[in-house]
Chain A
Amino acid sequence: MELFLQFCINGLMLGMMYALVAVGFTLFFGVLDVIVFSHGDTVMIGAFGGLSMYWWLGAVYPGLSLTWTVLWVFLAAALAVTVVGTLVARFLIMPLRKAPPLNTLLATMMLGTVLREAIRLFFPDGSNPKPFPHLLPEWSWQSGSLTLRFDNALLFLSGAVMIVLVHLLITRTRLGMAIRAVAQDEEAAQLMGVNFTMIVLATFALGSVVAAFAGVMNGLYYNEINFGMGLLLGAIGFSAAVIGGLGNIYGAILGGFIFAFLQTLGAVALPFASAYKDVFAFGSVIALMAVRPTGLIAEPSSQRV
């Protein structure tokens, strides 16, 4: 029972991380109908941005309290990723808007490679993994084989708060209304006086902040970051967004948790070898697509002819 609970907790943490990445994918798809495959690598940039800030703080303001450090680290990550995200949106995604979807997909995959290799080559000693500092209180509660950690709970909760905030922003604010308007019909939205470029950039900024959060969360959870961490995270985030149904935030969250569940199940329940867990997870994704070709929560716009 305790073992089962432990698996659930692990799976939930993993699922939250995937969900945060998948939300970015689905946001971008919603407004522009594009898949920004480099999103996973944007998460990595966020983690490295946060780490740089931590180093800088350590050099300039030694002895800063943990709370402020965490806040600054997150702000730096958000800033770094927002700059990268909006630049990418303005100079890569917008010009490619009318291109076939395959072009955008390949272009953003190549962009991911560029980001990855750039960190590897130009970040100090970038090809080796970097330690990410422990910045959260490390209380833990043990019961048999079950370990509950306060920092994990905090991360999970703030992840949930992040998602709720994004949801509120989308559904309750004027900006959110404009984003939804653009997602529904970009021409009509423009006719109603919505500044299309600004909204697209705002969406990318929003997605980037979520990615930065995911990056810092990843760092705080694993206490280790490396230049290649975004590749698989991107592939999984994309899978999660697609199995949930592109363009739907609930779908992305659902997809994230489903993927984490599949992976954990693969590692735990496969009798012969846990190494097959990715084969199992991706195989299940393929099977799922055969049954529900437009994802679990189908986007209504996919029916337009």
Chain B
Amino acid sequence: MKTLFFTRALFVCLALLGLLMADPALAAKKSVKVGFIGPLTGGVSANGLGGRNSAELAVMERNEDPSAKFLYEFTALDDECKPNIGVQVGTKMGADRKVIGAVTHYCSAVALSVVDIYHRFGLPVIVWGAVQPDITYGNDYPEVMRICGTMINQNEEAAKFMRSQGYKKFAILHDTTDYGKSHKDFFSKYLTENGGEILGVFGVTSDQQDFTAELTKIKSLNPEVIYFGGLTPLGVRIRSQMDKLGIKAQFEGTSGIKSDAFIEGLGKNLAEGSLSFIEGTPTEKLPGGKKFLESYKSRNFSQGPEAYGAFAYAAMVRILDAIEAVGPDRKKVTATLNATKDVDTLVGKVTFDDHGQNIVPAISKYVVQDGVWVLWEDSEYGSGKRRLKH
């Protein structure tokens, strides 16, 4: 009996080995590791998982490409959106010499805490979702680059646009995370510079359910626009509670609410006319955008790519391209990535400035029209057929 078992086991092993040997591509190519870090558990995990899937998709596609020089191994680590865990996994990735490049971080606080470590270990990373300006501009590290824009660009554009639409009085709501607070700071700055008036600023915690107290106060201030700096879950709650209280003001959000979940969460009618601003050109408008979405769908990920998935994908493609060009060497890959200029990617043309920041050519303005996020210029609002609330 025992011998039979061992014979069988041996046979299975041999068969597996044979399979491995039979695949010439697998045997011939050298394996290279690339990484991804983002929040995979907890409150913002939807974005983290979307980013991870998108980055993994880039690696899968490259591995299916027979002309690729290397076999890429994908490792994803969870930073839980907590700086201490971020330092832990950042150290792990940085210290692992086999990892040549990584696409990292959605949460700004985490990114800020880990940039020193990437510099220390010389690991080139491209930040895919964290938008705090200091991540790139607060240091001179060549290793740290960012493909998404900072919140500076976004809010400058947003403030100017809202003023051009004739709005003057604003009430600001923001969540008290780094994302919401920094958005509030930059938007307030550009709004007052452009002659807008801020009637009140209200901070809310990121797990708050009930906003009726804040909104009632806002209602009595009677603003024309309610600006919300924060992510989709809170955006949905605030917009729907505005309706409950009969607040007629225009709702304006940030990149954090530009997700299908926002419209799904509110329903078509309530979401109608909500505004959002996001860096880069819309995915489906770009060459390869459709292909990306189809390819993503075909892999049956449990979660959609969300707002920043395309950035993670584009960043991973940049890293893979650089490795293909100069080989698996961190220093050379860093230099190649730093020299990125006018490269076509999924999120538009990418150029890194001397801080490694992608100089995003345009901020896209979106408005919800009939249950879809539509680019402002293409929308009936933009053409004057429909009107925002005044």
Q: Cβ of B217: which chain A residues have Cβ within 8 Å of it?
A: 267-268, 274
Asked whether, in the complex, the Cβ of A129 is within 8 Å of the Cβ of B261, the reply is yes
B210: shortest Cβ distance to chain A, in Å? 5
CB atoms of B236 and A129 under 8 A apart: yes
Q: Within the complex, what minimum Cβ distance (angstroms) separates B274 from chain A?
A: 14
Determine how close the nearest CB of chain A comes to the CB of B94; give it in whole angstroms: 28
Quick one: closest B residue to A6, CB to CB? B216
B279-300 interface bits toward A, Cβ cutoff 8 Å, 1 = contact, 0 = none: 0000000000000000000000
Asked if residues A129 and B208 are in contact (CB atoms below 8 Å), the reply is: no
Chain B residues within 8 Å of A120, by CB:
45
Judged by a CB distance under 8 angstroms, whether B31 is at the interface is: no
**Contact flags (1/0) for B14-57 with A, using CB distance below 8 Å?**
00000000000000000000000000010101100100000000
Do B261 and A147 touch across chains, with their CB atoms under 8 A apart?
A: no
A224 contacts the other chain (Cβ, under 8 Å)? yes
For the side of the interface on B, what is the size category? 35 or more
- Distance (Å) between the CB of B287 and the closest chain A CB? 29
Q: Is the CB of A232 within 8 A of B261?
A: no
Tell me if A13 and B212 are in contact (CB < 8 A): yes
Chain A min CB distance to B160 (Å): 27
Verify A129–B265 contact, CB threshold 8 A.
Answer: yes
A contact residues around B43 at 8 Å (CB): 228
Most buried by B among A130, A149, A224, A273: A224
**Cβ contacts under 8 Å, A278 to chain B:** 205
Name B213's contact: one of A7, A127, A128, A232 (CB within 8 Å). Answer: A7
Is there a chain B Cβ closer than 8 Å to A223's Cβ?
A: yes
B133 at the interface (CB under 8 A from A): no
Asked if A101 is at the interface (CB within 8 A of a chain B CB), the reply is: no
B233 touches A129 (CB 8 A): yes
Q: Which of B3-11, B238-246, B343-351 contacts A (4 or more CB under 8 A)?
A: B238-246
Complex contacts, A23 vs chain B, CB 8 Å: none
Nearest chain A residue, comparing its CB with the CB of B240: A223
CA A218 to CA B240, docked complex, whole Å = 13
Contacts known (A222-B241, A275-B203); A233 close to B212, Cβ less than 8 A: no
Nearest CB of chain B from residue A150's CB, rounded to whole Å: 12
Residue numbers in B under 8 Å from A228 (CB-CB)? 43, 207, 233
> Does B164 count as interface, using CB distance less than 8 angstroms?
no
A250 to B: closest C-beta gap in Å: 24
Interface string of A264-281 (1 = CB under 8 A from B): 100110000111011000
Tell me whether B213 and A131 are in contact (CB under 8 A). Answer: no
Q: Which A residues are CB-close (under 8 A) to B219? A: 6, 145
User: Is A185 part of the binding interface, using a Cβ–Cβ cutoff of 8 Å?
Assistant: no
* Count of A interface residues, CB-CB < 8 Å: 40
Interface residues of B in 222-263 (CB under 8 A from A): 232-233, 236-237, 240-241, 244-246, 259, 261
Chain A residues, CB < 8 A from B49: 127
Q: How far is the CB of B97 from chain A (nearest CB, A)?
A: 33
- Number of A-B residue pairs having CB atoms within 8 Å of each other in the complex: 105
**Docked pose: A275 CA to B206 CA in angstroms:** 11
| Contact of A275 with B240 in the complex, beta carbons under 8 Å | no
- Taking a contact as CB atoms under 8 Å apart, the answer to whether A129 and B246 are in contact is no
A232 to B323, CA, bound (A): 46
* Chain B, residue nearest A125 (CB): B303
| Bitwise interface map of A from 128 to 145 toward B, beta carbon under 8 Å scored 1, else 0 | 111100000000101001
Residues of chain A within 8 A (CB-CB) of B233 are 128-129, 224, 226, 228
Do A275 and B176 touch (CB < 8 A)? yes
Question: Are B213 and A147 in contact (CB-based, < 8 A)?
Answer: no
Residues from 187 to 215 in B contacting A, C-beta threshold 8 Å:
201-205, 207-210, 212-214
Cβ A147 vs Cβ B209 within 8 A: no
Q: Say if the beta carbon of B361 comes within 8 Å of chain A.
A: no
B246 proximity list for chain A (CB < 8 A): 140, 142, 147
Whether, in the assembled complex, A3 has its beta carbon less than 8 Å from a beta carbon of chain B, the answer is yes
A125-B303, A267-B214 known; A274 vs B240 contact (CB < 8 Å): no
Chain A contacts for B176, CB-based, 8 A: 275
A229 to B209, CA, bound (A): 7
- 8 Å CB contact of A274 from B214, B237, B245: B214
Chain B: minimal CB distance from A111 (Å)? 17
Would you call B209 and A267 a contact (CB within 8 A)? no
Residue B267 is within 8 A (CB to CB) of chain A in the complex: yes
Which of chain B's residues has its CB closest to A120's CB?
B45
Chain B residues with CB under 8 Å of A233's CB are 209
Q: State whether the Cβ of B264 lies closer than 8 Å to any Cβ in chain A.
A: yes
A224 touches B237 (CB 8 A): yes
Are B232 and A275 touching (Cβ within 8 A)? no
Cβ–Cβ contact A224 & B240, under 8 A: yes
Interface membership of A10, Cβ < 8 A: yes
A206 sits at the interface (CB 8 A): no
When distances are taken between beta carbons in the complex, the residues of chain A under 8 Å from B303 are 125, 127
Query: Quick one: given A3-B220, A275-B176, are A128 and B245 in contact (CB under 8 Å)?
Result: no
* Contacts A131-B265, A147-B244, A152-B244 supplied; 12 other A-B pairs, CB < 8 Å: A6-B216, A7-B213, A10-B216, A125-B304, A129-B236, A129-B261, A222-B240, A224-B236, A267-B202, A273-B201, A273-B203, A275-B205
User: Could you give 23 example pairs across A and B, Cβ below 8 Å?
Assistant: A6-B216, A10-B210, A14-B210, A14-B212, A127-B45, A130-B265, A131-B236, A131-B267, A145-B220, A147-B245, A152-B244, A222-B237, A222-B240, A222-B241, A223-B240, A223-B266, A228-B233, A229-B209, A231-B207, A267-B214, A273-B202, A274-B202, A278-B205
By a beta-carbon cutoff of 8 Å, the part of chain B in contact with chain A is 41, 43, 45-46, 49, 176, 201-205, 207-210, 212-214, 216-217, 219-220, 232-233, 236-237, 240-241, 244-246, 259, 261, 264-267, 303-304
